[in-house]
Structure 1
């Protein structure tokens, strides 16, 4: 119950901790082979740069006549596949995480280009909102203004699972019936749902920060830096997409 993010859950981190303890007891692992907060930050920056570069390429190609839907869908599918593999084989994260960032960049670049064509300047607003939210949450966590207690984790995880379940059910109904999800459109209720989802996504950042810090304290294997950075990127991508959705709803009302 430490994080709803599939990469930052108890099972994976417990397994990694146990393995690291065994290696340490046999004196076959040193500090350079242990997870650190600084190392995770560096890995996160690398993934962010890879994602941005990939998204920029798709963005440029889109505004030069290419249809962004194919690379966006392809990137989303491949990114999901790498996520699933990493969830079962975290030791391969040093190879899977960069691949995820590149494929997710295709998805982000394509989706962003579509939204930008419909609502000019929405990209800058969404990026700015995501960045500010990340900085604020990081500051609140760093200075212990928001403390990640067990109750806090339980509430955030429960809310996130509720959102995921609602999205899944809505998607299934809309695929096979004429059902229109409540969160579709630009009604006040729809906007309210988007605001709520953004809040929950932001709260997930606290869980991710806490799990990364705890992982470093527990001296997990070095590959967990890539694994943790990948999990953090998933949360940020989710937050960015939700900001795009909210801003598009607000723009369509004008």
Structure 2
């Protein structure tokens, strides 16, 4: 089985090794079994179970689950966190979420607990950002508008991918990854400069800020193509079912990024009223 994605290729090879070894779920002491009996199970070895492959339905269920957890966490944070602590909760959740996201992304480990924790933390972040824009800044109805726009873009990209209008070719993938790295670098530079009182205009609501937000929205929208391709290739390679958590994590990251950028863009236009 071949794929242009080196990460997926590595995971596919790992899946083949697991199937060949007869991977079994963790035993009573948390140790994985490989066709070996659990302690106290007797001397006769158990027949190695088949590793269940990942399906698109698995990814859909995991994605909906993570979205539900993120939404509930956001609502809880909105209600429970007092306005005086909004900034602290916002920054704290952003830092913790970034660290968890990097760990999950670079390790590529299918750890459901870690992914769920990420969803909870990002829910706090989303809740605090949303509360600031709607209640503190006074942009009434902006949260609902941003949610509708976010899912509208998501389903549009899903339809375009399904109809093969946009595909994750090697050239497209390289270009999009370069664009994502570039956007992230600009964000970090802007953040550092803002700490020293330098206003670059990227987040001030002017023409430059609007253009930059539009660029971020386009890049975030196109990132769904990479996520869809990852799911498609994961299913084709027969990755173990637990990797559906990793695929769902990728979709959640893009959704949150897209939502925040749309929320910010809407605030620019409402601020002109």
Q: Tell me, yes or no, whether TM beats 0.5.
A: yes
1:166–1:81 Cα change, 3 Å: closer
Matched, 1:68 2:68: no
The superposition leaves residues 57-88 of structure 1 with CA deviations (integer Å, 9 ceiling, x where unpaired) of: 112235x7664223322322222232233234
User: Is the contact made by 2:108 and 2:246 (CA closer than 8 Å) also made in structure 1?
Assistant: yes
User: Is the contact made by 1:79 and 1:100 (CA closer than 8 Å) also made in structure 2?
Assistant: yes
Matched, 1:219 2:238: yes
The superposition leaves residues 163-191 of structure 1 with CA deviations (integer Å, 9 ceiling, x where unpaired) of: 11111112222223x32123122222221
Displacement, 1:46?
0.5
Aligned length: 244
The TM-score, its normalising length taken from structure 1, stands at 0.88
Equivalences for residues 1-254 of structure 1 within 5 A: 10-28=5-23, 33-62=52-81, 67-117=85-135, 118=137, 119-176=139-196, 178-254=197-273
Q: Which has the higher contact order (CA 8 A, sep 6+)?
A: 1
Alignment partners' CA distance in 1, 2:61 and 2:50: 17
Unaligned runs of 5+ in 2: 25-48
Displacement, 1:89?
3.9
Partner SS, residue 8 of structure 2: helix
More helix by share: 1
Larger Rg: 2
User: Is the contact made by 1:91 and 1:223 (CA closer than 8 Å) also made in structure 2?
Assistant: no
Alignment partners' CA distance in 2, 1:189 and 1:174: 16
RMSD: 2.1
Unaligned runs of 5+ in 1: 1-8
Displacement, 1:106?
0.5
